[in-house]
Amino acid sequence: MRFWFLALFLMCVGQNTCAKEVLKLPDSVARYAMEKVGQATFEFLFLDIYEATLYAPKGVYTAGEPFALKLTYKKSLKGAAIAKRSQDEMANLSDVDGDTLKRWGDAMLEIFPNVEKGDVIVGVYQPKLPTPFYLNSQFLGQVGDPDFGQHFFDIWLKPRPQYEQFRKKLLNQL
């Protein structure tokens, strides 16, 4: 009997099919189950800032398809600092015009709260739809411009040499 339990356990571990981590999203967003793709910790000056977890349908990330990114904060941060850093990163990664970046920055300033250690912010990407954000499972707000989501999530998902190991962990490629 122990042999069968061991065999079942080894099958589950080897195929990663037995215990999938599923992200619970509100019914208005959850048209599909979001399963964990990968996870990585973002560090700055040797400090853990947040743990990022990427979720996608069936646990498989496909560019241009829906997904969710969960950030679990390891330290307290001001919402204005989060919005400013996000806006700066988006400016560095794309050729979006200054007026659009300012509009997006203003929207993030309104949405992103101050976070405490342990707080969780989830952003959801849905092609051609607004980008909603949640704090500890409560709706924060959304950026209505359908072009925002791709540029925002490129912060984590676009290939960049300085963050390539982080990105590969999120995409479960390491």
Please say if the pLDDT value at position 139 is more than 70: yes
Q: Tell me whether residue 9 is in a domain.
A: no
**Domain presence at residue 7:** no
Mean pLDDT for the chain overall:
87
- pLDDT band, residue 30 (cuts 50/70/90): low
Domain count along the chain: 1
More confident residue, 117 or 18: 117
Q: Does the pLDDT at position 59 exceed 80?
A: yes
Predicted TM-score of the model (pTM): 0.85
Q: pLDDT at position 26, please?
A: 62
134 part of a folded domain: yes
What proportion of the chain, given as a percentage, has pLDDT over 70?
84
Q: pLDDT at residue 123 above 90?
A: yes
Cβ count within 10 A of residue 122: 23
Q: Over the range 85-118, which residues count as b (16 or more CB within 10 Å of their CB) and which as e?
A: ebbebbeeeeeeeeeebebbbebbeebbbebeee
Residue 101 resides in a domain: yes
Residue 126 pLDDT more than 80? yes
* CATH number, domain with residue 149: 3.50.70.10
Find the farthest-apart pair of alpha carbons in the chain and give their distance in angstroms, rounded: 67
Question: Domain of 119?
Answer: 21-170
pLDDT of residue 2: 41
**Which residue would you say has higher pLDDT here, 27 or 52?**
52
57 part of a folded domain: yes
